[in-house]
Every structure is written in structure tokens, then in C-alpha cells.
Structure 1
Amino acid sequence: MVDYHTKGIPKDSRTGLWAPTFQFGDWLDPTAPPERPDLPATHPMFVANTWLCNITKTLWKIAVVLQDQDGIREWEAATLTLTSEWQSKYILPTASSLTTRLGATEPPKILTQDTQTAYSLALNFGLLSEDLIKPAINRLHHLVINNNYHLSTGFAGTPELLHAICASPSSPLSLEENLNSISLAYKVLLGPRTPPSWLYPVTMGATTIWERWDAVKPDGRVNTSGMTSLNHYAYGSVGKWIFETVGGIKMRYLEGKDGGLTFIFNPIPNPEHGITWSEMVYNSPKGIVACNWKYESDGQKMVIEIALPGNCEGEVMMLGQPLKRIGAV
């Protein structure tokens, strides 16, 4: 990974960002011309540079886990430098002073790339200053709602979209805003039945994930633009969000803890779309982890049953707020 970063990526000598070159970027973005998937709404170099920042930060985290002091210093410095260059290049010059003005019809733009993919990557990879996180979330929500809850993401943006819509528990959103964010994510996942959406293929009889959002057209004809695999992983990457939010199991590395792993149990129901119970079993590196839950709307009560291996611990949460630690101590 280090060799790829230092030797395999052509970099701009001045900024350290990725030097302009062909990139697949947000491949098969549904807004791109069908015959030109290399022309998505989000510039491919934005995707490349955003991922470059993310993998650099990942190398910093790896150095921390390995207690590699030289590596920590090297990759921390590289992360901070690249993030600063990224911010200078892609955050609008007026973003730091932007607020939603009285009477404004929509949240202001924050990034030069004003797309679902751009905001999702920037938010999930932690590239925005704290004062821009909430405006960026608001802008992303606006783009999703304005698109009638349909996706406009390709291979790069789709895995990140629902996570970014929901924001993280540490985001500067109120409880009501967090609830609205989660509701919006569920609406994107389970609401639309026309392309581009996850459930459109189901209406067409699909039992697998397609390579294109509209690999089969509403009239039953196969899309003639090519790249129409009817069994493709890319858009199935939403499974991670489903496992964590519906299934309720998240695995996290815990710095400084023997064994390194902990489990977060934070299932979130959505009665609007009939998500009121789930049973999930995960064969984790530590052993079998299970989370069964049921939401009883009449009594506003939620029952959760959890199983953990004896060699680890976890934390039960509700809407990101800690309730109880469980397991080995």
C-alpha cells in the first residue's frame, strides 16, 4: 500500500494531489451520457483526489496501530498537507462565510462539485472543517430531495451516500435533525421504484444487483449502451449500511485496546417503510455476533437481544447515543 501511494500514483509536484490522468471516477453515474460513463457529473479527478486523502489518512491509522513512530509522523504530516490542498482546490472560496440566508430557497453550495457523490465522499472521509459539516449535510439533503429521492451516484458515490445522508453521531445535528436524516436515507433506499433506484430492478423481476441502474429498460429491453451485467457488486455496496442500520451491528477498531475490535449495536427502525424488526448474525473475526430487535410502535418500546463472543465487548446505542456497555471487561 505504501509502495502504491509513493510510487504508483502520479502526483502534482506542487500540491501532492493526483496529477491529471484518466480516472474511472464515479463510473456509470446515471447522469452521464450512456455511451460515455467516463463523463459523470462529479469530475473524476475530484474522486481521485478525495480518495487519495482518504488512503493517506488510512496509512496514518495503520501506522498508529503498528506503533510505527516514524510512520505516524510521516503519514500524519502527509494527511494534513493533502487535506489542506484538497480544501483549497475544492471548497468554494466563500463557503466559510455562507449561511442559509433569510428567504433563501435552498442551502448554499459548499463544494465546486455540487453533487451527491462529492458531498458524500467529503463528509465520510472527514475532509471538511467543523463549521462546514452541517451546511454540507444540508446541501446533500437538498440534492437528494430535489432529485425526488433518487440517486445520482455511480460506483464511487453509491457506497457512501446513505452513510453521508445519516451523518455521524458526532455531527453537529440536533436529535430531530438526526431522525430526519435517517428517515431520508430510508426513503432513498426503499421509496423510489423508478430508475435510478435500488428497488427499480426488483419491480423488473431482478433477484440480483445490476451493473447499471437501468440495465433493463422499463419496456423489458436490455440497455444497449453496454456494461449491463445483471449480477454486479457495485450498487450492492449499500449492504454495509443495511447491515449496520437495519441489522444493527457495526465493527470498530478500538485504539489501545487488546484485540483491537469492539462492536456497536445501534439498530434504527423505520415504521414508515415497515422496518420494525430484524434478526442478524455476523461471523466476525472474533466469532459469532448477533443482534435481534423488534420495535413496538404502540408502546414506543424497542426490545434488543444481543450475543457476543466471550473475548470482546460492545456498546448498545440508540440513535448514536450510548446506553450500555456489554461483554468482557
Structure 2
Amino acid sequence: MSPWHAHMISAADHLTDAPLFRREFVLDPGHGDVVSAMLRATALGVVEAWVNGLPASEDVLTPGWTSYEWRLRYAEWDVTALIEPTTVIGLAVGNGWYRGKLGWTGGSRYYGHELGAFAELRIRFADGHVQTVGTDESWSAGPSATTADDLYDGQEIDARRRSDAWLRPGFSGPAWGAVHRTDFDHSVLEPYIGPPVRRQQSVAPVEVWESARGSVMVDFGQNLVGWVRVDVHGEAGDVVTLRHAEVLEDGELGTRPLRTARATDRYVLSGGPDVFEPTFTFHGFRFVEVDGWPGGAASLRDRGGLEAIVVSSELRRIGRFGCSDPVLERLHENAVWGMRGNFLDVPTDCPQRDERMGWTGDIAVFAPSAVYLADAGDFLRDWLRDLALEQAGHDGRVPFVVPDVIKYLNHGSSLLKDETTAIWSDAAVWVPWAVWTAYADLAVLEEQWPSIASHIRTVRDLLSPNGLWDTGFQFGDWLDPDAPPTAPWQAKADPAVVATACAFRTATLAARIAEVLGRDVEAAEFAAMAGSLRAAFSEHYVDGDRIRSDCPTVYALAIAFDLLDDEQRDAAGRRLAELVREGGYRISTGFAGTPYVLDALTRTGHLADAYRLLMQRECPSWLYPVTMGATTIWERWDSMLPDGRINPGEMTSFNHYALGAVVDWMHRTIGGLAPLEPGYRRALVAPQPGGGLSWAQTSLDTPSGTIAVGWRIEAGQLAVDVDVPDSVEAVLRLPGRDDEVLASGRHRRSVPASAATAG
């Protein structure tokens, strides 16, 4: 028997656009005061709720995007303060991910054709009596002011249709009618694990002007994710249209990278003061083109009326970084903004074009950075729940995106076969390990263990008799800067070398996870697999001081993943440094190699080369986009060409956090803070200055308190300050000194700068 007293309901067929649902009721008499009232709500679509005319919560885009086939989350809100003797519950439902467009083929309604609303209000009285009001046939449905809504295309609102009368007692309207139950399995309902999506901040325009073709243009100064709140007064029936884009090209919106996404909001004015906020969509943008604004650019510039609303999952910032180079600081801030924009319920690849999917490869490499920048543990645990469900539904194969909508697309692309692939599918292991390392939360390993074990055994079944992962489809070193713009998979690195190295790392981590969980048999099983992969890699891919395909990525992976013995490792480090120098200290790695190339140089004694590679400002490099005005991490090293033109590749985003994984190295090497035990119960403090930096600082709110590290070079000395919280032991490692264990408190140590600085 279902524990719920509510049913999924839908509106009549003619209410196709963002229907409203309401229920009016009277409190049960004779039970004293209301002591609590909890509203649980979800939708087939996205839902907003009101109680007696006031919002039930600050959440937006509830219940987000999950693998709807197996899991639909519900939110729970305390609405005790909103309950009256006669109470009205109101719900508005938009298409969201459930019924809106998804993917680049133009299709929609992959999960279902009918929007649904679900809510249950439980009111507890002073004498213990509980009154329950849930969605059922006693509710009614009617039209809203939203005439169209889609996450890709935008939202249309007609203010002439607005009224809040439906949220007050005694309402009845001629356009309102009955609802019906939908066929719905209550067993898929689950509470949120991760945080809700909410408005984070508002951003004012920095410039308003009229373009050469007469359009009103607005620059918010920051590439962000969310929408524009519009405050306008014009003639009834007039239309104001906002089109969004991340960049300008030839002085106009650069919309080609959006592909088929319209990213357009359209508002019909009421004739009085109107405020519009398109909460059933979101856009990735910095620039907005405004048509139909009363008074044009001059009025908008003088009187205002637009503010960008930043929207993302509610994540507390816990990690910070600063240094003496403002360009490097801006790179770090770009990674923060990229994460903020793409951590919108699902860790997406990009927030603007007709995609916005949870690509597993992106988060696999960015997870160590994410868990330092923000308290992202529950956010990632929630997403990993869907990964495990999709994996089970794919016979053990981890899909390329989670939730997996690609299985529904008629894409016809040989690049998107339903296969297990290195890095992308390895997210099943790499992401839980990053969460465990950062927060020492055993739950993520326990919950994901079946998924972890399933994935590594799937990989084992794909190995060739020679022990290598050299079969099947691979993305490889995706977006190698030397690959053609239209063929990002054509990297210098042999995809089998990349895949075998990743399989070794995955098997090694799986063995370590098994040890943590006390699974000795599986720990031995996966350690043996790792040993076999290491031996096969050395036998087939290492020839003297060369690794097959002889490019930076293969050396970076072999060193960072500990695939080599000491002699091989030293030779690989020398060859990697040589290749980096020969390349003029310009980036020569893609998705696979970029997160590890600086670590590989650092670990093999080439710190100065690592800094020169990081500090390079010519294209391709991490800092080139900053010199071009980037305020987020780009998808391609040259998403915008030096002459201001957008990269000709169809796949070009200006907000793609994956290449921002470099900030993990910045935290650990420049800032000098890394975990020695999960959750930073023991921490390594080992700053390694270089690159001409004169100071740097980093801090992290750990489960045991805030650890802070700061260093400065002055008067020929490197002075290091360390704040250690209670219950944490820090190991200080400085050149020319033995390791020192620091107890809780504030500490300062100094060493000669000449011995501690590289390059």
C-alpha cells in the first residue's frame, strides 16, 4: 500500500502550456493550533508552489532532472507560517527536462507527453491530529500567463493574462476545469539527496548601447547562467523580446554556438508596470539583445529595468585561492563561475546550447576541483545515484551522459554508440573517490560500490588477450588542440594508450575503495587486475624512454597514474618536459591529458616547466582565454580566435568547466594544500612557488574546520603562514627542512627563497 495520500494529476488536454492547479480547503476543526505543516511536491515537468498566495519556498526548477524511468525526486517545504483557516494550495507546472527539448536533434517529450503535478500537505495540530491534503480529482486546473516554455528556447509570458485571484479563497474561472489522475508509479518517488536549485545573486548591466544594425544591446560583464528579470512599463499588447548569447561577433550576438537553441524570452506587456521572470527556463549568457523596449537604448540605460539572476544548485563555497598575478586569479575565478553555471541540478557540459547534458567525462576529470571549491558531496551523490540506475539499465555500461537521454535520440552518429569508454565511464569510480577524499563521507563509497564493481568488471571483459584496452570506441584525448575543429577525437595520443592507462587508474582506485569498505576479496581481485594492466602497458607501450604516440598526454597519464617504474618515470618526465619546451610552452593536451600534465611535470622535477606552461598567454593556453576577456572556462582552447571570430567548429562553448581542472593543481602546488587522509584529517602543506609569483594563499573549510595556507617572498625569504584547526594534523614540507608536524593553531616558518622557488 502506498504511503502517499496524493496522486499524480494532469490538466485537460487544452491546457498545454504551463498549467496551473489549485485546491481550496478548510482546516479540520476542534484540534487546536496548527503546530506544523509540511508540503511535499514534485512534477512530471518542473513545479512552483504557493500557499495562500505566498511562495512555498525559494527553490526553482523543482524537481530538476533525474533518470525519470527509475527515480523522481520530491521536495519538502515547511509552510507552517502560511496556513490559514481556509487555505489555498497553488501549483504551476512547466515542461522542464521531462517534456521539453533535449539534445541536438530537435526532439522533445522523450520521457512523457503529459505534464503532471503531485503534492501532499500534512498538517499536524496541537492534539496530534493530522490532516492530509493531496493532489487528486478534487483539484482544478486552469491556464497561466506563460504561453510557451522550454529550457533551450526560452519562455513567453503574456502579462495581460496575469492574475493572482486563483491563489485566493473563493476563486472560480470559466477557463478552469477538472483534472484527471495519470498512470504513475509511486515507488519511483525519492527525496532529494543533493541541494535544490535557487537564485544565487543578481548582476546589473555594465553597458547598454545600440548596435550597428539598430538593436539594443546589454552587457552584464560576466558569462553566467540564469535569466534576466525585467521591470518595464509600456503599452498594453506591446512585445519585449530578449535574445541571449555568451559572446559578440562583429558587434552582434554570437548565436551560432547555440545551434538550434533559441535562447529567447518574449513578454507581452499589460499596459501597467510589469515584472517578468522566466523561471521555467535558463540561459547561458553574458550579452542580451533587447527588441521592443519602450524608449530604446537611451531609456534602458538611464532608467534601468534589467538585472541578470544567477541560478544554480545551492552549494556552499568552501575553497578559495588568491595570488599575486591577477590574470591567474581570473583563471581561477573563471573555473568557479564555470562550475556555478554548470552545477545546475546536473553537472552539465555547458549551459547554453541544445545540449546541457551530464557528460560523465567532464565531471570525471573536474571532480577533484569541484569538491575543493564547494561543498559538492551531496550534489554529486545525487547525480551518482542516477549514474548507477542508468548503468544497471545498460547491462553494466556507464553511459556517456547521466541522465541518459542519448538513448532516445535518433542521432545516427557512430561517435555515440552505447559503449563503455575510458574517462567518461570511469566517472563511476573517479567521482566517488574524489568525494570520499575530500569529505571522508563513507556513504558515497557504500552507496556506489555495486556500480564501482560492475564498471571495473565491465572494463576487464573489454580487455584484449594481451591485457590492453585497445578495443571498442574511445573519445581518447578529446579536443586535443592539434585536432581538426570538426574532428575533436583525432588526437595525437593513441586512444588505446589513454584507455589502458585509465583502466589501470580505475582498477587501482577500485582496489583502494574495496580496502576502505573492508572488502578484502574484491580488493585483491582489483589490485591483481591493476598489476596486470601495469605490466601490459609497460610491455606493449613503453619502449626505452618513449611511450607509444610520443605526445604530452601519454607521458602525463603514465606519470600521474604511477604506471612506470622509477627509471621509466624519470625518462618519461624528461621526455614530457622536452616536448613541452619544443611546443613553446603551449598546451598540447585535450580532456585526457590536461588535468594531469602539470602534476606529471611537477612530480618528475620539472616545476619550472610546469609554471611556464601554466603562465603561457599565447593560444593555446589556460591564460589565452583570460587575455581575450573570458569570464568562464572555454570548451576549446580557441573557442574564440585571436581576431575575435568564433571557432568554426560546430561544438563551441564559452562555459565548459572541464579544462578548468587545472585549479586542482593550483590549490595543491601553488597554494600548497592537499589531503594526506580523507577529509583532510591529516593535511599536507607544501607550497611550491614559481612563475614569478610573489605571494599566494588558499583556504579550505574541511569537515574539521578551516585550514589556511599563505606564503610570501620578501627580503630573500619564503615566509609561510599556516592555520590548523582542532582535530587536524598538518605536515609542513619546505625545501631544505625535514617534514614538520603542526598541531592546531597558527604557525609561521621561513626558508631561503632561492631554495624554494622554481622558474
Same fold (TM over 0.5): yes
Counterparts of 2:465 and 2:675, CA distance in 1: 38
Deviation at 1:284? 2.1
Show the 5 A alignment for 1:116-265: 116-167=552-603, 178=605, 181-190=606-615, 192-253=616-677, 261-265=681-685
1:11-58 deviation per Cα after TM superposition (whole angstroms, max 9, x unaligned): 135234325111111100011111111110002221111100011011
Secondary structure (helix, strand or coil) at the match of 2:547 reads coil
Aligned to 1:278: 696
**8 Å CA contact retained: 1:244, 1:267:** yes
Counterparts of 2:645 and 2:680, CA distance in 1: 50
Q: Whose helix fraction is larger, Structure 1's or Structure 2's?
A: 1
Secondary structure (helix, strand or coil) at the match of 2:537 reads helix
Counterparts of 2:511 and 2:736, CA distance in 1: 26
- Once the two structures are overlaid, the 10-residue window that deviates more, 40-49 or 210-219, is 40-49
Judged with a 3 Å threshold, the aligned counterparts in structure 2 of structure 1 residues 319 and 207 are, in CA distance, closer, same or farther, namely farther
Counterparts of 1:321 and 1:59, CA distance in 2: 35
Partner amino acid, structure 2, of 1:183: A
Show the 5 A alignment for 1:33-52: 33-52=484-503
Aligned to 1:25: 476
Counterparts of 1:65 and 1:112, CA distance in 2: 35
Deviation at 1:211? 0.5
Secondary structure (helix, strand or coil) at the match of 1:246 reads helix
1:283-317 deviation per Cα after TM superposition (whole angstroms, max 9, x unaligned): 22332111121111x3x212222112211201111
Aligned to 2:465: 14
Aligned to 2:709: 291
Counterparts of 1:245 and 1:293, CA distance in 2: 12
Counterparts of 2:579 and 2:660, CA distance in 1: 22
TM-score normalised by structure 1 residue count: 0.84
1:66-102 deviation per Cα after TM superposition (whole angstroms, max 9, x unaligned): 333212321221111111112112112xx1xxxxxxx
Q: Whose strand fraction is larger, Structure 1's or Structure 2's?
A: 2
Judged with a 3 Å threshold, the aligned counterparts in structure 2 of structure 1 residues 283 and 202 are, in CA distance, closer, same or farther, namely same
**8 Å CA contact retained: 1:266, 1:320:** no
**8 Å CA contact retained: 1:209, 1:232:** yes
Selected match of 1:312 from 708, 712, 728: 728
Counterparts of 1:247 and 1:320, CA distance in 2: 19
**8 Å CA contact retained: 1:266, 1:319:** no
Aligned to 1:266: 686
Aligned to 1:103: none
Aligned to 1:115: 551
Secondary structure (helix, strand or coil) at the match of 2:671 reads coil
Secondary structure (helix, strand or coil) at the match of 1:239 reads helix
**8 Å CA contact retained: 1:249, 1:263:** yes
Deviation at 1:253? 2.4
Partner amino acid, structure 2, of 1:265: V
Counterparts of 1:195 and 1:21, CA distance in 2: 33
Counterparts of 2:582 and 2:470, CA distance in 1: 34
TM-score normalised by structure 2 residue count: 0.37
Aligned to 2:454: 3
Secondary structure (helix, strand or coil) at the match of 1:214 reads coil
Deviation at 1:147? 0.3
Partner amino acid, structure 2, of 1:155: F
Partner amino acid, structure 1, of 2:609: L
Counterparts of 1:234 and 1:57, CA distance in 2: 23
1:96-147 deviation per Cα after TM superposition (whole angstroms, max 9, x unaligned): xxxxxxxxxxxxx421120100000000111112221111100000000000
Counterparts of 2:628 and 2:542, CA distance in 1: 40
Tell me which structure has the larger Cα radius of gyration: 2
1:230-285 deviation per Cα after TM superposition (whole angstroms, max 9, x unaligned): 1111111100111111111111227xxxx784111111222xx4311122111223
**8 Å CA contact retained: 1:90, 1:111:** yes
Judged with a 3 Å threshold, the aligned counterparts in structure 2 of structure 1 residues 145 and 210 are, in CA distance, closer, same or farther, namely same
Secondary structure (helix, strand or coil) at the match of 2:676 reads strand
**8 Å CA contact retained: 2:680, 2:728:** no
Secondary structure (helix, strand or coil) at the match of 1:188 reads helix
Deviation at 1:8? 5.9
Counterparts of 2:570 and 2:728, CA distance in 1: 34
Counterparts of 2:540 and 2:588, CA distance in 1: 23
1:179-213 deviation per Cα after TM superposition (whole angstroms, max 9, x unaligned): xx1111111111x2221111111121112111000
Identity of aligned residues (%): 36
Counterparts of 2:632 and 2:460, CA distance in 1: 34
Judged with a 3 Å threshold, the aligned counterparts in structure 2 of structure 1 residues 322 and 72 are, in CA distance, closer, same or farther, namely farther
Judged with a 3 Å threshold, the aligned counterparts in structure 2 of structure 1 residues 285 and 117 are, in CA distance, closer, same or farther, namely farther
Structure 2 gaps, min length 5: 1-451, 745-759
**8 Å CA contact retained: 2:479, 2:488:** yes
Counterparts of 2:737 and 2:516, CA distance in 1: 26
- Once the two structures are overlaid, the 10-residue window that deviates more, 16-25 or 143-152, is 16-25
- Once the two structures are overlaid, the 10-residue window that deviates more, 16-25 or 156-165, is 16-25
**8 Å CA contact retained: 1:316, 1:325:** yes
Judged with a 3 Å threshold, the aligned counterparts in structure 2 of structure 1 residues 30 and 260 are, in CA distance, closer, same or farther, namely closer
Counterparts of 1:163 and 1:294, CA distance in 2: 22
Structure 1 gaps, min length 5: 96-108, 172-177
Provide the aligned C-alpha RMSD in A: 1.9
Secondary structure (helix, strand or coil) at the match of 1:318 reads coil
1:148-191 deviation per Cα after TM superposition (whole angstroms, max 9, x unaligned): 01110001100001000111xxx5xxxxxx3xx1111111111x
Between the two proteins, the alignment pairs up a number of residues equal to 293
Counterparts of 1:195 and 1:152, CA distance in 2: 10
Deviation at 1:10? 4.7
Partner amino acid, structure 1, of 2:706: I
